């Protein structure tokens, strides 16, 4: 097997933080490697060094002369007015027929191929960038958290693409289900060292757990021996007759050292709120409609959730999962109907609108001490803070200097230390690493209260959820099947859609088509509101809509970036309102675009 990349004796540090400490690794061709490690361990830094965007302090990265790296760029490398085909030809220096052939693998055909890049939505721009990667014929793809904020169906489509890719991949992800589905090897960065394991992420984590337990047993035995030797030395070093033996034992004691393990390095310690189990319904909705003043997302929502249930709200992006959550916790008023919580319910909410309004002048530790149940031991508070990456002096940071991601983790820590008997969690794993997500799952499984949550992490969903609530096509359905049955349904729909496309089905964007159908189902009167146009007028309106969609999509990206980087709660709330408004306008424009496309093809 060809060796594409070698990392030798790599050292890298930032201030007092050691990221790489003599790290070594060899990556061969045609292997797909899942790259895991704690947050802040240095995974993204190592990717930058491989790409040449950063340098090692010492050591070397040896690249095969024929190594061709493909990296999914986060910025948009498009020229003003450039079409998808023009970008692909310029970027790859390949002829138009070749660019069209590769673009077709991502359903980029016809009008889509001739559309200006700024008129395409973010999802379709990503497809174009993937096509551009393949045109360079890379033999190593580098992907950094590719599943963040992708809905379930899009994740599965990305998995299909990666499984069919015949070259090597190095994928950083906290999503164990995604890594297990796409990677046959696992690379771990821990305590500055790289470990390449010839198996999937689940197999490696089980292997690592066994090693850790073995090391802990060995260390316990060594500690007992050290104690015995120390007691002998203390008893005998003062006596002349036994001083020599005591000195000999002292040398033995110096040679007995415990082995440093990953367990010694801030393992995630998470405990859910300690509450009394309760019986009966915790939540009921009656004739509930959710949405906004100008648009209803879903109607006739009838839910009944019992105490002790762990309910996962699932569905594609844009269908209304977060809208439903916000309505349930009364941060968004119902369009119609009512939400009734059971007697004695104390809600704890983890959502964007909550963690943007934390007290500015308190430190991390002060806020957690205030939110914790009275009598909580200080070590438990520090352990929970550490699990959320507030370690050492970081607990003394003022809230006002925290980034959006740090505020999110602080809100989660406070929630876990509180006394809520109902937890409402919107994407709780987005800012956490594999080990912390697993520790959070364990804590929620042990929790005696009720959990209602959204997540795109399938491993987390399968472990935690006891029931599923799907938001789709203007309806909210309480799904009684287990996770495997729900996944079977989703996979079947995707397989049928792919078979249809391969059989010469329509070239229009799948997502846009689904949006149109969803809109028609949720609003039968939509055709009356948007009358049919003649072909010329329809094409003109499509062109205008494409410009509007591109503009709104760019606004959405910019607002989201500002939201995650701001530390001003008032600015964050304003940005959140702007993001909601722009998202609504984008959904409306994409729905109309899809309707007009269908009209032209009839």
Does residue 223 sit within a domain? no
- Give the whole-angstrom CA distance, residue 179 versus residue 176: 5
- What pLDDT shows up at residue 528? 33
Lowest model confidence (mean pLDDT) among 7-11, 99-103, 399-403: 399-403
Does residue 260 sit within a domain? no
- Tell me: pLDDT of 90 over 80: yes
User: 517: pLDDT confidence band, cut at 50, 70 and 90?
Assistant: very low
- Tell me: pLDDT of 359 over 80: yes
User: 237: pLDDT confidence band, cut at 50, 70 and 90?
Assistant: confident
- Tell me: pLDDT of 306 over 60: yes
Does residue 524 sit within a domain? yes
**24 versus 231: which is more confidently predicted?**
24
User: 125: pLDDT confidence band, cut at 50, 70 and 90?
Assistant: confident
Q: How far apart are the first and last CA of the chain?
A: 52
469 and 344 in a single domain? The answer is yes
- Tell me: pLDDT of 518 over 60: no
DSSP lists the bridge partners of residue 467 as: 311
Does residue 551 sit within a domain? yes
Residue ranges of alpha helices (H) inside 418-534 are 434-446, 458-464, 483-502, 510-522, 526-529
What contacts 306, CB < 8 A, 6 or more positions away? 279, 280, 281, 282, 450
Burial of 347 (0-12, 13-18, 19+ CB in 10 A): middle
Does residue 554 sit within a domain? yes
- What pLDDT shows up at residue 448? 93
- Tell me: pLDDT of 402 over 60: yes
Please write down the long-range contacts of 101-110, taking CB distance under 8 Å and 24 or more positions apart.
102/131, 102/134, 102/135, 103/128, 103/131, 105/131, 105/134, 106/130, 106/131, 107/501, 107/507, 107/509, 107/510, 108/84, 109/507, 110/507
Helices and strands, counts by H and E, the chain = 21, 19
- Give the whole-angstrom CA distance, residue 183 versus residue 325: 34
- Tell me: pLDDT of 534 over 60: yes
528 and 554 in a single domain? The answer is yes
528 and 479 in a single domain? The answer is no
**29 versus 181: which is more confidently predicted?**
181
- Tell me: pLDDT of 61 over 50: yes
178 and 298 in a single domain? The answer is no
- Tell me: pLDDT of 135 over 80: yes
Which of the listed residues 146, 171, 204 is the one where a domain comes to its end?
A: 204
- R_g (Cα) of the chain, nearest Å: 27
- What pLDDT shows up at residue 25? 92
513 and 457 in a single domain? The answer is no
84 and 189 in a single domain? The answer is yes
**DSSP code per residue over 52-118:** TSS--SEEEEEE-TT--EEE--SS--PPTT-BHHHHHHHHH---HHHHHHHHHTTT--HHHHHSBGG
Which of the listed residues 204, 235, 265 is the one where a domain comes to its end?
A: 204
Q: Which residue has the tokens 């050591």?
A: 59
459 and 404 in a single domain? The answer is yes
Task: Read off the tokens for 203.
Answer: 């197999």
- What pLDDT shows up at residue 533? 56
- What pLDDT shows up at residue 600? 66
Phi, psi of 23 (to 5 degrees): -70, 140
Does residue 276 sit within a domain? no
Domains identified in the chain, total number: 3
- What pLDDT shows up at residue 194? 93
- What pLDDT shows up at residue 86? 93
Lowest model confidence (mean pLDDT) among 113-122, 145-154, 362-371, 436-445: 145-154
- What pLDDT shows up at residue 75? 64
195 and 287 in a single domain? The answer is no
Does residue 496 sit within a domain? no
User: 522: pLDDT confidence band, cut at 50, 70 and 90?
Assistant: very low
Lowest model confidence (mean pLDDT) among 37-41, 96-100, 381-385: 37-41
Contact 462, 438 (CB under 8 A): no
Average of per-residue pLDDT across 233-258:
76
Task: Read off the tokens for 216.
Answer: 């802990």
- What pLDDT shows up at residue 602? 58
324 and 462 in a single domain? The answer is yes
Lowest model confidence (mean pLDDT) among 60-69, 356-365, 573-582: 573-582
- What pLDDT shows up at residue 502? 56
- Tell me: pLDDT of 319 over 70: yes
- What pLDDT shows up at residue 530? 45
Which of the listed residues 184, 204, 224 is the one where a domain comes to its end?
A: 204
User: 56: pLDDT confidence band, cut at 50, 70 and 90?
Assistant: very high
Q: Which residue has the tokens 């399968």?
A: 462
- What pLDDT shows up at residue 525? 34
483 and 516 in a single domain? The answer is no
User: From its phi and psi, is residue 93 left (phi > 0), alpha (psi between -120 and 50) or beta?
Assistant: left
Does residue 233 sit within a domain? no
Contact 439, 387 (CB under 8 A): yes
- What pLDDT shows up at residue 383? 86
- Give the whole-angstrom CA distance, residue 452 versus residue 423: 6
313 and 366 in a single domain? The answer is yes
Give me the chain's average pLDDT, please. 80
User: 35: pLDDT confidence band, cut at 50, 70 and 90?
Assistant: very high
Contact 190, 212 (CB under 8 A): no
Q: Which residue has the tokens 């490697």?
A: 33
**Three-class SS string for 121-181?**
CHHHHHHHHHHHHHHCCCCEEEEECCCCCCCHHHHHHHHHHHHHCCCEEEEECCCHHHHHH
Nearest to 128 by CA among 183, 160, 182, 90: 90
Average of per-residue pLDDT across 295-318:
88
Owning domain of residue 443:
281-489
453 and 541 in a single domain? The answer is no
């Amino acid at each position: 097997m060809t060796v594409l990349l070698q990392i030798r004796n790599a050292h890298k540090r930032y201030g007092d933080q050691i990221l790489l400490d003599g790290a070594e690794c060899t990556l061969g061709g045609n292997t797909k490697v899942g790259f895991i490690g704690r947050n802040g361990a240095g995974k993204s830094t190592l990717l930058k060094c491989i790409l040449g965007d950063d340098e090692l302090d010492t050591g070397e990265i040896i690249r095969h002369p024929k190594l061709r790296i493909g990296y999914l760029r986060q910025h948009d490398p498009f020229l003003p007015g450039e079409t998808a085909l023009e970008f692909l030809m310029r970027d790859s220096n390949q002829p138009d027929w070749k660019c069209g052939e590769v673009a077709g693998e991502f359903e980029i055909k016809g009008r889509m191929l001739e559309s200006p890049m700024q008129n395409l939505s973010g999802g379709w721009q990503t497809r174009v960038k993937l096509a551009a990667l393949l045109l360079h014929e890379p033999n190593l793809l580098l992907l950094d958290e590719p599943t963040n904020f992708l809905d379930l169906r899009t994740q599965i489509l990305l998995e299909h693409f990666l499984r069919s890719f015949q070259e090597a991949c190095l994928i950083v992800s906290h999503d164990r289900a995604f890594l297990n589905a796409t990677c046959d090897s696992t690379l771990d960065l821990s305590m500055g060292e790289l470990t390449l394991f010839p198996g999937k992420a689940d197999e490696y984590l089980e292997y690592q757990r066994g090693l850790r337990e073995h090391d802990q047993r060995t260390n316990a035995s060594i500690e007992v021996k050290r104690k015995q030797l120390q007691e002998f030395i203390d008893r005998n070093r003062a006596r002349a007759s036994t001083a020599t033996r005591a000195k000999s034992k002292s040398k033995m004691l110096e040679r007995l050292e415990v082995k440093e393990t990953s367990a010694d390095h801030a393992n995630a310690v998470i405990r859910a709120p300690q509450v009394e189990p309760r019986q009966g319904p915790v939540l009921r909705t009656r004739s509930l409609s959710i949405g906004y003043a100008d648009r209803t997302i879903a109607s006739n929502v009838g839910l009944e959730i019992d105490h002790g249930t762990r309910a996962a709200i699932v569905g594609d992006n844009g269908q209304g999962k977060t809208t439903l959550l916000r309505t349930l916790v009364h941060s968004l008023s119902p369009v119609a109907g009512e939400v009734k919580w059971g007697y004695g319910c104390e809600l704890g909410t983890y959502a964007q609108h909550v963690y943007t309004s934390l007290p500015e002048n308190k430190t991390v530790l002060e806020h957690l001490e205030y939110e914790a149940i009275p009598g909580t031991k200080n070590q438990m508070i520090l352990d929970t803070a550490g699990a959320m990456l507030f370690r050492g002096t970081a607990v003394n940071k003022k809230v006002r200097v925290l980034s959006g991601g740090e505020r999110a983790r602080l809100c989660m820590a406070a929630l876990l230390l509180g006394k809520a008997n109902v937890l409402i969690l919107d994407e709780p794993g987005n800012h956490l690493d594999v080990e912390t997500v697993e520790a959070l799952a364990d804590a929620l499984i042990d929790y005696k209260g009720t959990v209602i949550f959204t997540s795109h992490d399938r491993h987390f969903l399968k472990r935690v959820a006891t029931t599923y609530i799907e938001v789709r096509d203007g309806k909210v359905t309480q799904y009684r099947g287990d996770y495997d049955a729900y996944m079977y349904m989703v996979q079947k729909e995707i397989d049928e859609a792919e078979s249809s496309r391969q059989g010469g089905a329509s070239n229009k964007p799948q997502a846009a088509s689904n949006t149109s159908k969803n809109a028609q189902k949720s609003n039968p009167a939509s055709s009356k509101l948007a009358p049919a146009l003649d072909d010329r007028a329809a094409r003109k309106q499509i062109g205008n809509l494409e410009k509007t969609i591109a503009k709104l999509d760019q606004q959405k990206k910019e607002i989201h970036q500002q939201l995650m980087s701001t530390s001003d709660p008032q600015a964050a709330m304003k940005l959140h309102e702007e993001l909601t408004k722009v998202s609504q306008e984008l959904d409306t424009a994409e729905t109309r675009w899809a309707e007009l496309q269908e009209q032209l093809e009839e």
